[in-house]
């Protein structure tokens, strides 16, 4: 099985590097993301691992997919086979939501395997979808996907192709884990 990525240290460095690359202050990132300066500072110093919702807001501020923000610096795509224990994974400390990054940075789409535990929900802001085409394919369980004002109940085998950017929430109201795959490709910027 995958090794969970060190949520605090590795992700903190990635956020700090992304902010520095843009020459953004903590205040600028806080304003763009809606995440407090104090929380961003704790994440960057490795003192706190963000929840999936905070991670979504940070990624949206940087105009990145959550997968891109979580990527490790090295590209594991040098070899055509990547063993299960080498697939990077990240877990939300609050909900236990688990993301396994199936594709490597060199692949033209982000492919992510997600497990959403029973009774949990993860909201993402509309900005997280601004320049991405995305689809969700439910493998096991039940997923309630709120897409703006519309609510869709998806079960094993169902596929939902996300349209115009909207605030979205992924929820698992059942008493069993829900597993789904998310495929994201970048759209051309307008």
135 and 54 in a common domain: no
The confidence band for 68, taking pLDDT boundaries of 50, 70 and 90, is: confident
Q: What is the pLDDT of residues 5-44, one digit of tens each?
A: 445 567 788 889 889 999 999 999 999 999 999 999 988 9
> Which one of 23, 52, 70 terminates a domain?
70
154 and 87 in a common domain: yes
Q: Does residue 47 have a pLDDT over 70? A: yes
DSSP classification of residue 81: -
Average pLDDT, the chain: 84
Range of the domain at 28: 7-70
Report the percentage of the chain scoring pLDDT > 90. Answer: 43
Report in angstroms the alpha-carbon separations of 82 from 78, 86, 168: 9, 6, 31
Number of domains in the chain: 2
In a domain, 1, yes or no: no
Q: Find the CATH number of the domain harbouring 42.
A: 1.10.260.40
| Distance of alpha carbon 106 from alpha carbon 113, whole angstroms | 17
118 and 63 in a common domain: no
The confidence band for 145, taking pLDDT boundaries of 50, 70 and 90, is: very high
64 and 31 in a common domain: yes
Q: Find the CATH number of the domain harbouring 132.
A: 2.60.120.10
| Distance of alpha carbon 117 from alpha carbon 108, whole angstroms | 29
93 and 12 in a common domain: no
91 and 39 in a common domain: no
| Both tokens assigned to 140 | 């096991």
For residue 171, the model assigns a pLDDT of 97
């Amino acid at each position: 099985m995958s090794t969970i990525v060190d949520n605090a240290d590795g992700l903190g460095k990635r956020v700090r590097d992304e902010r520095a690359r843009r020459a953004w202050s903590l205040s600028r990132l806080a304003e763009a993301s809606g995440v407090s300066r104090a929380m961003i500072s704790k994440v960057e110093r490795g003192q706190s691992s963000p929840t999936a919702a905070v991670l979504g807001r940070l990624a949206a501020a940087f105009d990145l997919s959550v997968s891109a923000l979580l990527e490790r610096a090295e590209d594991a795509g040098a070899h055509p086979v990547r063993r299960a224990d080498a697939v990077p994974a990240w877990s939300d400390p609050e909900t236990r939501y688990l993301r396994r990054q199936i594709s490597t940075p060199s692949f033209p789409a982000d492919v992510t395997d997600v497990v959403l535990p029973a009774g949990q929900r993860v909201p993402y802001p509309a900005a997280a979808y601004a320049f991405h085409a995305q689809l969700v394919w439910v493998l096991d369980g039940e997923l309630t996907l709120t897409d703006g004002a519309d609510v869709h109940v998806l079960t094993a085998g169902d596929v939902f192709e996300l349209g115009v950017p909207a605030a979205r929430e992924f929820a698992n109201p059942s008493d069993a884990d829900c597993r789904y795959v998310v495929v994201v490709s970048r759209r051309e910027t307008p």
